[in-house]
Structure 1
Amino acid sequence: MSTVLIEKEKTVRTLNNISKSGLSVFKNNYTIDGDNEDPEAILVRSFNMHSMEFGNSLKAIARAGAGVNNIPIETCTEKGIVVFNTPGANANAVKELVLTSIMASSRNLFDSIAWTKTLEGEGDNISKLVEAGKKQFVGKEMKGKTLGIIGLGAIGALVANDAIALGMDVIGFDPFISVDTAWNLSSHVQRAMTIEELFSEADYITVHVPFTDNTAGMFNKQTFELMKTGVHILNFSRGELVNETDIKGALESGKVGKYITDFPNENVLKMENVIAIPHLGASTKESEDNCAVMAARQVKDFLETGNIKHSVNFPNACLPYTGKTRLAVFHKNVPNMVGQITSALSSFSLNIADMVNRSRGEYAYTMVDIENDVTEDIIPSLEDEISLINEVVRTRII
């Protein structure tokens, strides 16, 4: 049996501190309440939601960030709750830290600063000690070196373009690159036909892909063997992309010169030539504002029009909103579902002004704008009719 909900005044619950820039998106007919147990939408950053129970009113969850591991995606999908994330909103922040890390690791900046601090108390001898000791920190320039980028999405494309501007040669690998990204990518970025090609040519490798069964441990003993000796590997995506046992051996042998990771743990902190950063990739005021605003706008648009953009569990679907009564139906991706929905509308002598149907895996989403004026006395019967269709998960009338 599906769930049918009529739109009322909307409550948005926050599970973390959300930037005021984002909350300001919600104005008339919205209430922000961090304690409401049955809101229409939830805004979240890192709060672990896996043990939460969701009320019947909940229609959307927006993560102000890219990763959604803290959200029970499968449960949400089964209930017809749309989960959004904000890809690209923190891209500039991560890009700047990636490029900073390339420069700093190349010039041994972190080790040299730590060594310089040990000179405290040497007084007039500091200048002589600095001149004598600086030779141990001689580095290399990034200009003219080859940067390999795995994943040319929002972050990877920005890194590529700015690395080109800094004089690096850039080679990229992304079999799923979007048309929009390709248009925004510098023509000087070389395309690697295989990931093995990238591994063999790069002096630095930065990875910007999600953690999946296919990418888990993608940096391992076999792939390290393909790389140049002394390669620097930068991981600002997920710690699990790197096999920690294998990279320990690669660091000890010198095959990997430096491992820069935004995901420290007990194992990597014990390794030599690791630069462990305390998950600062998106930790800028601007990034937090951008993510919050993007998340809020996605939720607001969905609640008011049914349009979906940047969902991780349902298909993206947009239909220009003209103010007509809109029927939005989440359902299983099975044959003749659209036919059954349109037949139900026809039985009430309702004409279709416009519609869109999109699918994603086992699930699909259909929006229908109704040409006629839908009177209050028709709505309950129409809702019942749609709800009785087998494999309908959830129905909204906007």
Structure 2
Amino acid sequence: MSKQTVIKPLNAISEKGLNLFTEDYLIDENADQPDAVILRSFNMHEMDLPASLRAIGRAGAGVNNIPLDVCTDKGIPVFNTPGANANAVKELVITSLIASSRQMFDGVAWAKTLIGKGDEVPKLVETGKKQFVGKEIQGKTLGVIGLGAIGARVANDALELGMDVIGYDPFISVDMAWKLSRSVKRVHNIDELFKEVDYISIHVPLIPETKGLLNKAAFEKMKDNVYILNFSRGGLVDDDDITVALEEGTVGKYITDFPNAKTLDMKNTISIPHLGASSEESEENCAMMAAEELMAYLETGNIRNSVNFPDAALPYQGHPRVTAFHQNVPKMVSKITSEVSDVNLNIVDMTNRSYKDHAYTIIDLEGEIAESDFNALVKRLEAIEGMVTTRVIK
């Protein structure tokens, strides 16, 4: 890169992440025309995307705060950091699993009411503790919905604590399948999980297909007094339906990391103020991973962990490189290579990967290439019907 590339943080980002950017980059939180932004929870839906913007790095897994459709239409890849905060969330899930079973949250809140009781406190504790008799998790069955970076860790650790574990994930990746203990019983129908478990921990993204996944119909298939832990997204559980299930005792307790006005008023609900990924280590890991993804894309065009572009990479050997983001339609690759040939340039290496309605092509070219030849090629590529954006990396 011949000039400094401007990175604009939209939230407070860990210094360990920002410090990874080399002297080729300028970190400027006041930039009007940044080349890339890095953020955590900032709401980009209300932001006018600058014309200069080439990439977005989300230091975390969820991207509900980013207008993905707009970014895709403009050819802007959005990166997230799956797995970087997985240990932090897993630890809080396991903590909440045990603490809620032993009625610790309620007990601690009750103990606070004894302030000012003086010497009576020890006696009051001994008589009052009876209302907080809990249950042990050993020998109970945990159902884990979603066996990704977090869900697999939750499942494995629950096994170590003596629980039986049933997992459901029709889209489990090969990598996660290798990491998942063989002792986890996998089912291919979520209803099988519902009818067998004492606890449910949900770890899937919030998309139209999963909104309200745990609803009246699901609760009716579960054991009475099931405990539900939601450390993924609030919308995965239907608030109105679980309110009724809690009142009727179908659901014994609901532990959510996403409080709202309804959950705060629900019976037998523990509302945690979105602390799942709130650890120093998690914030550092996410920031570092997002910075690395942004630099890889800006410097080489390689893509890893984008939520709206396909993963695509070629080893960068210093050859002049052209990237193209385009509609995933027949003959597009042949049209691109034909334009390269028509300006008398040779292809050294290339790759093409698709994701939904779009595809991404990386082409390495041979030899030194004059600026005029590059400009001619870019104009030809941009004229192809279905082309969204092109980039030249040299």
Which residue number corresponds to residue 84 of structure 2? 89
Among residues 15, 20, 42, which one is paired with 1:47 in the alignment? 42
Q: How does 1:117-136 map to 2 (within 5 A)?
A: 117-136=112-131
Which residue number corresponds to residue 207 of structure 1? 202
Which residue number corresponds to residue 337 of structure 2? 342
Matched, 1:283 2:278: yes
**8 A Cα contact 1:38 1:54, kept in partner:** no
Give how far 1:348 is off: 2.2
Distance in 2 separating the partners of 1:8 and 1:317: 25
Query: Structure 2: any 5+ residue segments left out of the alignment?
Result: none
Matched, 1:235 2:230: yes
**8 A Cα contact 1:202 1:228, kept in partner:** yes
Among residues 19, 22, 26, which one is paired with 2:21 in the alignment? 26
**8 A Cα contact 1:37 1:55, kept in partner:** yes
Give how far 1:8 is off: 4.2
**8 A Cα contact 1:260 1:275, kept in partner:** yes
Which residue number corresponds to residue 321 of structure 2? 326
1:150 corresponds to which letter in structure 2? I
Query: Structure 1: any 5+ residue segments left out of the alignment?
Result: 1-5
1:149 corresponds to which letter in structure 2? V
Give how far 1:375 is off: 2.2
1:196 corresponds to which letter in structure 2? D
Q: How does 1:241-390 map to 2 (within 5 A)?
A: 241-390=236-385
Local SS of the residue matching 2:120: helix
Distance in 2 separating the partners of 1:111 and 1:80: 50
**8 A Cα contact 1:13 1:36, kept in partner:** yes
Distance in 1 separating the partners of 2:392 and 2:224: 61
Distance in 2 separating the partners of 1:95 and 1:37: 38
**8 A Cα contact 1:316 1:358, kept in partner:** yes
**8 A Cα contact 1:7 1:397, kept in partner:** no
Which residue number corresponds to residue 142 of structure 1? 137
CA offset digits 1:282-330 (Å, max 9, x no partner): 1111111011001110000000000011111111111111110111011
Distance in 1 separating the partners of 2:130 and 2:226: 21
Which residue number corresponds to residue 187 of structure 1? 182
Distance in 2 separating the partners of 1:216 and 1:377: 51
CA offset digits 1:226-282 (Å, max 9, x no partner): 111111000111111111111111111111110000111111111110000001111
Local SS of the residue matching 2:371: coil
CA offset digits 1:76-118 (Å, max 9, x no partner): 1111111111111110010000000000000000111111122
CA offset digits 1:344-381 (Å, max 9, x no partner): 11112221111110111111110001123212332221
CA offset digits 1:183-232 (Å, max 9, x no partner): 01111111112100111111110000011111111111111111111110
Which residue number corresponds to residue 156 of structure 1? 151
More relative contact order, 1 or 2 (CA 8 Å, 6+ apart): 1
Local SS of the residue matching 1:216: coil
CA offset digits 1:91-148 (Å, max 9, x no partner): 0010000000000000000111111122223322222222212111110001111110
Query: Please, what TM-score do these two structures have when normalized by structure 2?
Result: 0.97
Which residue number corresponds to residue 30 of structure 2? 35
Distance in 2 separating the partners of 1:388 and 1:129: 80
Give how far 1:58 is off: 1.1
Distance in 2 separating the partners of 1:286 and 1:51: 30
Local SS of the residue matching 1:226: coil
Distance in 2 separating the partners of 1:216 and 1:314: 23
1:253 corresponds to which letter in structure 2? E
Give how far 1:74 is off: 1.0
Which residue number corresponds to residue 116 of structure 1? 111
Local SS of the residue matching 1:147: strand
Query: Please, what TM-score do these two structures have when normalized by structure 1?
Result: 0.96
2:88 corresponds to which letter in structure 1? A
CA offset digits 1:165-189 (Å, max 9, x no partner): 1111111000000000000111111
Give how far 1:7 is off: 6.7
Distance in 1 separating the partners of 2:33 and 2:116: 61
Distance in 2 separating the partners of 1:351 and 1:219: 55
1:260 corresponds to which letter in structure 2? I
**Change in CA separation of 1:228 and 1:347 when aligned onto 2, cut-off 3 Å:** same
**Change in CA separation of 1:380 and 1:7 when aligned onto 2, cut-off 3 Å:** farther
CA offset digits 1:11-62 (Å, max 9, x no partner): 1011111110110111121100011111111001111112222233211001
Distance in 2 separating the partners of 1:84 and 1:129: 54
